[in-house]
Amino acid sequence: MSSRVIHKHSRVDFSKPLSFTFDGKIYQGFAGDTLASALLANGVKTIARSFKYGRPRGIVGAWAEEPNALVQVDVGARTTPDLKATQVELYDGLVAARTSGWPSLAFDLKSLGGRFSRFMPAGFYYKTFKWPNKFWPIYENIIRRAAGYGKSPIEPDTETYDHKHHHVDVLVVGGGANGLLSALLAARSGLKVLLVDDQSELGGYLLSMPNVTIGNLYARDWVAKIITELSNSPNVTLLERTTAFALHDMNMIQAVELVQDHLPHHERKPEQRRERMHRIRAKQVILATGAFERPLVFGNNDLPGIMTVSALTTYFNRYGVSCGKNAIILTSNDLAYQGVADLAEGGMNITLIDTRANINPLWAARFAKLGVTIYPGYGIDQALGSNAVTGAKLVKLDSIKMSASINCDIIASSGGLSPTVHLFCHDGGRPQWKDNVLAFVVSATGRANAGIYCVGAVTGVFGLQESLSATCETITEMLAALNKKVESDDLSFNTDEINCSPAHAIFRIPTTAKAFVDFQNDVAVTDVELAVRENYRSIEHIKRYTALGFGTDQGKLSNVNGFAIAAEMLGKTIPEVGTTTYRPAYTPVSFGALAGAHVGDTFEPRRYTAIQAAHNSRNASYETVGQWMRPWYFPKPVEDIHAAVNRECLAARNNVGILDASTLGKIDIRGKDVREFLNRIYTNAWNQLAPGKCRYGLMLNEAGMVMDDGVTACISDTHFLMTTTTGGAAGVMSWLEKWHQTEWPELEVYMTSVTDHWTTAALVGPKSREVLAKLCSDIDLSKDAFKFMDWRDGTVAGVPARVFRISFSGELAYEINVDASYGHYVWEELLKAGAEFGITPYGTETMHVLRAEKGFIIVGQETDGSVTPFDLDMAWAVSMKKPYSFIGKRSLARSDTARTDRKQLVGLLTDDPNFVLKEGAQLINSDNITPPVPMLGHVTSSYYSAFLGRSIAMGFVIDGIKRRSDEGNNIVYAWADGKAVKVKIASSVFFDAEGARHDV
């Protein structure tokens, strides 16, 4: 604990020690620490190995800008990779590990490659792994193993996540000085305010600047006073540990709240979420996102023990950690000075190297009193040391004259501030370069018309007093636009700041040693140089060629230095080079938070029919059809799917089966023009269909391709009931609405989705009439009174029913529709009545086999949006004589659609009756598979038919309709699983072509 500094400003509670483990070793920290501050306090300097060269790396930053200290936190299902140690709150029992460095942090094999680093310049992936082409899979394997940090958990996540929606007047992003002031002013004017801040404690950088005063208050007291007032305002919500990571159109902000990852395991509540995503729709957004300090680039600037001045100051003031005894501070600006003074007052020996020749005299006097040695007009050529910094070699900048080396155990640098402009830019906003502050900044009110305002450091106003006054003006303007005004009279922002002298426009100090721009991706100055030399001109290309600003860093620390160095080498100004594009997410977001509650059982709604309980009691196995859960087959003990389906098929063909067909889409269509509407929507004619009759229809899209099919019943001249495919119901509904609303508003039709209103039981098989007769006495079921394709109203088992005599199996069949509330009852009554005939419930698999035996298509299985009715050999369902040119008709005559040698639906029979073709198998002309092999089509449906005692299949073959009756030319091969199987093209109707079985 030698480097702990116990002082009154620290936000760490020294009375609450905690123990934690890093890389298997136990350490001690305190409540209020981050993992990074605790590791630094324990003298742990190397915490990572670099990506390309395996160089030792330490902690550079104090928050989200940290590029190196990526750690794996926790173990098992809870483990999380790639967290920044600087953002991980310490709790008792925390277990963390490094994510890089193999075999150990002390010795990384990759570092041996360091001496070969000239073989790994920018773009080395593209250059080294390019040839020969066929080796790419091997290279990819190697690269994948070398790339990335950390390990994802392999166990299922045991924790829960959720989403919360907010609608607010004002969202303030950032709880620093200017964010707090904005929230306060907005709240006092009565607006509904939400403030989100990513840290565990509000106050932002003021927490690191305890000696600053605002008005007559110390910074922390000023913060506390505002928090108290906000907390007591009913119109204000404060969310800590909540990172706004994306700003989308129309001020939709996504923010993720870490709910309880900061608590020791035993304090986490199982009923509480781990993380919560907030989706915030805000009328006004105030971005008070602050800025990160960027380091200066010099030789060996990646040695452990080199960090930013703000980080060094933060560890000292906020966490009570002194990162070294003898510090060298390198700066190009005054912003770092307050921290330097605090450190010197706290007892650190400081050598201040300022790249500017003239030091602000007020500061010079203050530093003289504190015993700070100053080198004006100097820079650091390179840091010295092998595994940690031990000194620095100075250089006098005006003469490039090397100077003596100075010993130190810590170096901190400041190249100025880079505003956190990310959110502002997510929806297309661009930052502007401002020369006087040497930063890409955003405009305070430039997007006020979109309700986006910016305050504080993000606008390039870095002085505290100046920024608070500017914030006050910005919020006044925002309130004025809402016809409100600032309701405050205590707006004194006098601080004790010393006015800043101009900063020095310097980003790197030329050196012969390796100087890094982007630590996380191991991008050195020479890499940017090389990219420019190889003629990359756009900063977007330079970024991708060098990997500058990739990864979790997303350029927070490295971008502006990279842009500036590229500008220098391109001979352009920084604004001419511009920035790369800022995209969400600002910081990494877990999949859990993104998914929220939409996982497992709550991933998607599951729809069940009214007779689900009956299916469960009969051991149904289910398949998902759209959102519906449909019985797939009903296995008896020891039966597999094949045995069950064979038994079900034979029962339906020989006796009687029963299928739950309730999921078919049903659309009730009424109005005086329904017939004409159907004429236009379907391919066939509807004028002659009498009440009591049904008809099968094919629906095409305007390109002439089949999109749905089903049976529609005429209830009366002005009332029809349309059925659609199970999966197509919603799409067909909006399709009908579209044509009605856009092209045919003059037709009087009203459509209602009634899918869930009805339960439909299909009673199928030669004994179906006898079963139905036992339960239905008010419908004459005789062959001539109730014909095929008729429907009748009546009662079944005492329940009002609409019975359709239609068949998707080719057997005598009745589809019994009853109010869904009675569905389960009627189903059970049917099963009781059918018991003496061996009634067998069957599922979708048997339904598929039965329909395939008859060559009936399934839209979506036989069709894929490129199939016309003629391709399906279904010209019988198309009436070309209707007066109105039905949807899709004209397209059937387009030159390509009208070709006669298109892929057409045929039956396919193997020589071996027991061999079932693979669905999706390609059909080719011979079993010679030496490329090129012309693809003739593919298998769409394939089953074993127990009734026929052989396999059957359907598929598409070029010119198939002609080939099926062309004896010498009817053989093709189905290619799947490395085998070409001979098949004969045949009719797709495998038996009872004349339809005798249903006509009884």
Decide whether 737 or 793 has the Cβ nearer to another protein. Answer: 737
Decide whether 234 or 428 has the Cβ nearer to another protein. Answer: 428
Decide whether 267 or 702 has the Cβ nearer to another protein. Answer: 702
Q: How far is the CB of 252 from another protein (least distance, A)?
A: 5
Decide whether 135 or 750 has the Cβ nearer to another protein. Answer: 750
Decide whether 563 or 886 has the Cβ nearer to another protein. Answer: 886
Tokens standing for residue 382: 């390179």
Q: Which residues pair with 694 in a beta bridge?
A: 713
Decide whether 76 or 865 has the Cβ nearer to another protein. Answer: 865
Q: How far is the CB of 444 from another protein (least distance, A)?
A: 20
Q: How far is the CB of 890 from another protein (least distance, A)?
A: 4
660 HSE (CA, 13 A, CB side): 30
Residues 6+ apart with CB under 8 A from 822: 759, 799
> 757: which DSSP letter?
G
835 HSE (CA, 13 A, CB side): 6
Q: How far is the CB of 284 from another protein (least distance, A)?
A: 15
Q: How far is the CB of 894 from another protein (least distance, A)?
A: 5
Say how far residue 248 (Cα) sits from the centre of its chain: 14
Residues 6+ apart with CB under 8 A from 825: 797, 799
Binding site for another protein (CB under 8 A): 248-250, 252, 281, 427-428, 702-703, 734, 737-738, 741-743, 745, 885, 889-891, 893-895
Q: How far is the CB of 691 from another protein (least distance, A)?
A: 28
Nearest CA-CA partner of 690 in 778, 781, 791, 780? 791
Return the exposure string of 3-25: e unless at least 16 CB atoms fall within 10 Å of the residue's CB, then b.
bbbeeebbbbeeeeebebebbee
Decide whether 282 or 985 has the Cβ nearer to another protein. Answer: 282
CA–CA distance, 555 with 286 (Å, rounded to integer): 23
Q: How far is the CB of 750 from another protein (least distance, A)?
A: 11
Decide whether 885 or 926 has the Cβ nearer to another protein. Answer: 885
Decide whether 428 or 978 has the Cβ nearer to another protein. Answer: 428
Residues 6+ apart with CB under 8 A from 856: 808, 810
Coil/strand/helix, residue 330:
strand
Q: How far is the CB of 253 from another protein (least distance, A)?
A: 10
Decide whether 262 or 447 has the Cβ nearer to another protein. Answer: 447
Decide whether 646 or 701 has the Cβ nearer to another protein. Answer: 701
**Which own/partner pairs from 213-218 qualify as long-range (CB within 8 Å, at least 24 positions apart)?**
213/495, 213/496, 214/177, 214/464, 214/465, 214/468, 214/493, 214/494, 214/495, 215/490, 215/492, 215/493, 215/494
Q: How far is the CB of 635 from another protein (least distance, A)?
A: 38
Decide whether 703 or 754 has the Cβ nearer to another protein. Answer: 703
Count CB-CB contacts under 10 A for residue 720.
25
Between the alpha carbon of residue 116 and those of residues 122, 162, 462, 952, the distances in Å are: 14, 48, 43, 63
351 HSE (CA, 13 A, CB side): 21
Residues 6+ apart with CB under 8 A from 439: 291, 416, 417, 418, 419, 433, 460, 560
> 743: which DSSP letter?
T
Q: How far is the CB of 880 from another protein (least distance, A)?
A: 10
Decide whether 477 or 737 has the Cβ nearer to another protein. Answer: 737
Decide whether 151 or 894 has the Cβ nearer to another protein. Answer: 894
CA–CA distance, 714 with 693 (Å, rounded to integer): 6
Q: How far is the CB of 667 from another protein (least distance, A)?
A: 12
Decide whether 724 or 846 has the Cβ nearer to another protein. Answer: 724
H or E element at residue 489: none
386 close to 363: Cβ distance less than 8 angstroms: no
CA–CA distance, 492 with 130 (Å, rounded to integer): 64
Q: How far is the CB of 504 from another protein (least distance, A)?
A: 38
Tokens standing for residue 417: 């501030």
Q: Positive or negative CA dihedral for 72, 74, 77, 80?
A: negative
Q: How far is the CB of 810 from another protein (least distance, A)?
A: 36
Tokens standing for residue 118: 């000239």
Decide whether 252 or 599 has the Cβ nearer to another protein. Answer: 252
Q: How far is the CB of 590 from another protein (least distance, A)?
A: 20
Nearest CA-CA partner of 156 in 778, 680, 509, 592? 592
Looking up tokens 């391919």 gives 683
Q: How far is the CB of 431 from another protein (least distance, A)?
A: 17
SS (H, E, C) 563-613: HHHHHHHHCCCHHHHCCCCCCCCCCCCCHHHHHCCCCHHHCCCCECCCCHH
Decide whether 45 or 902 has the Cβ nearer to another protein. Answer: 902
Beta strands in 135-223 (DSSP E): 161-173, 193-196, 213-214, 217-218
Residue at 435: amino acid letter: D
> 732: which DSSP letter?
H
Decide whether 253 or 797 has the Cβ nearer to another protein. Answer: 253
Q: How far is the CB of 885 from another protein (least distance, A)?
A: 4
CA–CA distance, 868 with 352 (Å, rounded to integer): 80
Q: How far is the CB of 742 from another protein (least distance, A)?
A: 6
Q: How far is the CB of 745 from another protein (least distance, A)?
A: 8
403 close to 409: Cβ distance less than 8 angstroms: no
